[in-house]
Structure 1
Amino acid sequence: MNKVTIPDGYHPRLTLYETQAAISLIKRVFQDSLAQALNLKRVSAPLFVDPATGLNDD
């Protein structure tokens, strides 16, 4: 199931870098749209962990 088949004569419309940038943009737009629709805010660390516990230490 890991076999990739590329048709003869196929030419991608985007370069590898452009494809990576497009995927990143789609991901970001999807996350932002979903968060807005569900009234969510992204946080990088849990808000409910007391800093004194040391669980969020880098």
Structure 2
Amino acid sequence: MTTSTTGQRGRGSDGSRVHVSNFDADTLSVIDTATARATDTVAVGDGPTGVAAARGRRP
């Protein structure tokens, strides 16, 4: 198992997911709150330190 320093956390609008920035890994983890397991990991660039979310907006 690999660990990294985490930054801020952001909760999805329905509470089913938490988004966590992983500073050392340069990624964002998507955590399923029901299982407490990562469902996705997204490369985001150098040293992410926070998470921002907007309701009703998708890329």
Q: TM-score, normalised by structure 2?
A: 0.16
Ranked by relative contact order (alpha carbons within 8 Å, sequence separation 6 or more), the top structure is 2
TM-score (norm 1): 0.16
Q: Which has the larger radius of gyration?
A: 1
More strand by proportion, 1 or 2? Answer: 2
Greater helix share, structure number: 1
